[in-house]
Amino acid sequence: MREVSGATNGSGYGADALPIEDMKEGAKKPFELVDGQVRLRGSKSRSSGGMAFPEREVCLETGARDMEPFLFGGDGVLYSFSTVHVSSSGPVPYTLGYVDFPCGLRVLAHVVADDPDSLRCDQAVQLRATDDSWFVVPV
C-alpha cells in the first residue's frame, strides 16, 4: 500500500491522485431489490445534480468528485431496440434496447420478450432481475 497524506502537488499526493478502480473484480451488482421491485444503482452529483448509470466517481457534467448513490427505475419507455443475430459479445440471438427512465437517464438494457417482433418504439417496459442479472420486459 502506498502512503497517502496531505495535498496533491509536486512534493506529494493525497487520495485524490490515485487511479479510480473502475475495473475491480467482484464489484457490487448494478441493481438491488427495494420492496420486491428492481432498482438500478446510479450516481448523482451533490453539487450539480448530474446523474449517471452505472455508478461512478466523477460528475459527467462538471468533473466534480462528489457523486452519491442514487436508485432509479423500475418503469421506463423503450426508445429503440434491435435483436442481435451476429455478435462478438456473446451467444445470439438477444435483444438490446435503449430504455428512458423518468429521472432523465437512458440505459442500454437487455429486453426479454416472448415475441421480440412484437416490440415497438415508445412502449412501456419494466425492470426485472434474476439473482445476478437485470433486464427489462414489455408491460
Partner 1 sequence: MSKVYMVGAAMVPMAKYRNSSYSGLAVPAVLNALKSAGVSPKDIQSVVCGHAFGGMLTGQRIVKELGIGSIPVLNVDNACSGGASALNAAYKDIEAGRYDIVLVIGVDKLTQFGGGTLPLVTEDPEVRQGMVMPALYAMRARRYLHERDATVEDLALVSVKARRHGANNPYAQFRSEVNVQEVLASRPICDPLTLLQCCPTGDGAAAVIVVSEAGRRKLNVPAVRVAASILHSGQVTAGFRDMLNPQISSDSANDAYKQAGFGPGDLDVVELHDAFTIAELVYYEALGLCRRGESADFLKSGKTTYGGQVVVNPSGGLLSKGHPVGASGVAQAAEVYWQLTGQAGKRQVPGAKRALSHVTGGGISGLDHGACTVHLYECA
The rounded distance, in Å, linking the Cα atoms of 27 and 136 is: 22
Site string (28-67) toward partner 1, x via CB under 8 A: ----------------------------x-xxxxxx-x--
Q: Does 107 bind partner 1 (CB under 8 A)?
A: no
Cα separation of 92 and 83, whole Å? 9
> Residue 115, interface with partner 1 (CB under 8 A)?
no
User: What DSSP designation does 102 have?
Assistant: T
Q: Read off the amino acid at residue 99.
A: V
Interaction of residue 88 with partner 1, rule CB under 8 A: no
Residue type at 70 in one-letter notation: F
Which range binds partner 1 by CB under 8 A, 18-26, 28-36, 67-75, 82-90?
18-26
- Residue 85 found at the interface with partner 1 (CB under 8 A): no
Grid cell, residue 123, equals: 412502449
- Give the shortest CB-79-to-partner 1 separation in angstroms: 21
Which of helix, strand or coil describes residue 16? helix
Nearer Cβ to partner 1, position 56 or 128?
56
| Candidate ranges 1-9, 83-91, 105-113, 117-125; the one touching partner 1 (CB under 8 A) | 1-9
Environment class of 97 (CB within 10 Å of its CB; exposed 0-12, middle 13-18, buried 19+) = buried
User: Is there a cis peptide before residue 54, judged by omega within 30 degrees of 0?
Assistant: yes
Contact residues: partner 1, CB under 8 A? 2-3, 8-13, 16-25, 56, 58-63, 65
